[in-house]
């Protein structure tokens, strides 16, 4: 399975600058580019954050090859039937380039601000499971009736039909065994974070253990583990990936050996200082670094 590389673009600058970042990612040959999907940023409440899916609809008309999606959508924030219509619409607009990464919810303050219950871990995972089960059917253009504890629809027909067949890809944010099982059973891939603010000596073994468990779950579900893509969302662990070409090659190589098939890295836009500290720690990259790494690092994998 070939290794793929992407950029996470935090849409906290005016839309023309966000679009320019996507065009840049497209031009240097990255496989995908993502926006974050949050209502706001807890530590920076005054920062302007563009809404994710409407941003992607606009970006879809102005890019050519690159896959586009969210890193990641919170299953609690939208009714999954409405989310499915958004995804199918952007799938058509983009000519079949949309990917949906979806998780169970990470930020309690965001739930509180929107009046959405922040369930315990099991509850969030169950809501995620129901959402992904519905999306798996709805994104095929089916007529769906679904009755769950958290999600319920009755005889909803999903049009437009998907451009990507049998449906647009779904990736599940998976840190624990329950979400890993959702990904193994229903999704094309899983997304996993590094150990927050921890060095590679802590983060890499945790990632490797998660990948081993993913293999076991695939076997239990009757799935070939090699068909499940595994995306490492870099920048959370204290790993200086952007310190040099050598550092990037070593760190990426170690995660590939541990099972990663995909990577996404934060692309820094200097117009907004939100990620300045992350850049200073070599955990996010500038355009110059992305361009260099696309030519001298990513191509090696």
**Cα–Cα nearest to 266, from 2, 29, 35, 51:** 35
Q: Which residues of the chain have pLDDT under 50?
A: none
Note the pLDDT tens digit of each residue in 214-249. 999 999 999 999 999 999 999 999 999 999 999 999
pLDDT at 41 (0 to 100): 86
pLDDT at 45 (0 to 100): 83
Token pair recorded at residue 229 = 């893509």
Element (H, E) at 185: helix 177-186
Rounded Cα distance between 276 and 79, Å, is 34
pLDDT at 220 (0 to 100): 97
Tokens 């200086």 belong to residue: 240
The answer to whether the CB of 54 falls within 8 A of the CB of 83 is no
Token pair recorded at residue 77 = 């924030």
pLDDT at 95 (0 to 100): 98
4-300 is classed CATH 1.10.287.3610: no
**Cα–Cα nearest to 73, from 158, 19, 135, 160:** 135
Domain extents in the chain:
4-300
Rounded Cα distance between 288 and 279, Å, is 13
The answer to whether the CB of 47 falls within 8 A of the CB of 79 is no
| Phi-psi domain of 152 (left: phi exceeds 0; alpha: psi -120 through 50; beta: other) | beta
The answer to whether the CB of 37 falls within 8 A of the CB of 77 is yes
Rounded Cα distance between 187 and 172, Å, is 7
- 199 alpha carbon, distance to own chain's centre: 22
Token pair recorded at residue 293 = 């790494």
Rounded Cα distance between 84 and 245, Å, is 40
Rounded Cα distance between 33 and 7, Å, is 5
29-54 burial by CB neighbour count: b if 16+ within 10 A, else e? Answer: ebbbbbbbbbbbbeeeeeeebbebbe
pLDDT at 145 (0 to 100): 97
Q: Where are the beta strands (DSSP E) in 104-245?
A: 143-147, 152-157, 170-173, 189-193, 229-233
pLDDT at 42 (0 to 100): 82
Token pair recorded at residue 186 = 């229903």
Note the pLDDT tens digit of each residue in 243-275. 999 999 999 999 999 999 999 999 999 998 888
pLDDT at 40 (0 to 100): 86
């Amino acid at each position: 399975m070939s290794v793929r590389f992407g950029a996470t673009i935090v849409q906290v600058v005016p839309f023309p600058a966000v679009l320019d970042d996507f065009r840049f990612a497209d031009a240097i040959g990255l496989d995908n580019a993502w926006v974050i999907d949050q209502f706001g940023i807890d530590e920076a409440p005054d920062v302007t954050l563009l809404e994710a899916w409407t941003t992607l609809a606009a970006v879809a008309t102005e890019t050519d090859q690159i896959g586009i999606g969210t890193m990641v959508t919170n299953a609690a924030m939208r009714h999954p039937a409405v989310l499915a219509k958004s995804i199918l619409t952007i799938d058509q607009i983009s000519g079949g380039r949309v990917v949906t990464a979806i998780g169970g919810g990470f930020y309690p303050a965001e739930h509180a601000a929107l009046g959405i219950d922040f369930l315990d871990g099991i509850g969030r995972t169950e809501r995620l499971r129901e959402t992904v089960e519905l999306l798996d059917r709805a994104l095929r253009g089916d007529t769906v009736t679904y009755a769950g504890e958290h999600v319920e629809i009755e005889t909803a027909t999903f049009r437009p039909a998907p451009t990507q067949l049998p449906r647009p890809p779904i990736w599940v944010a998976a840190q624990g065994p329950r979400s890993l099982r959702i990904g193994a059973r229903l999704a094309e891939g899983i997304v996993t974070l590094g150990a927050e603010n921890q060095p590679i000596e802590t983060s890499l073994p945790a990632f490797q253990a998660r990948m081993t468990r993913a293999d076991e779950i695939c076997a239990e579900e009757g799935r070939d583990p090699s068909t499940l893509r595994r995306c490492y969302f870099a920048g959370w662990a204290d790993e200086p990936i952007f310190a040099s070409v050598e550092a990037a090659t070593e760190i990426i190589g170690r995660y590939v050996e541990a099972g990663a098939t995909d990577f996404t890295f934060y692309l820094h836009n200097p117009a907004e200082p939100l990620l300045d500290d992350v850049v200073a720690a070599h955990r996010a990259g500038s355009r110059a670094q992305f361009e260099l790494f696309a030519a001298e690092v990513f191509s090696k994998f």
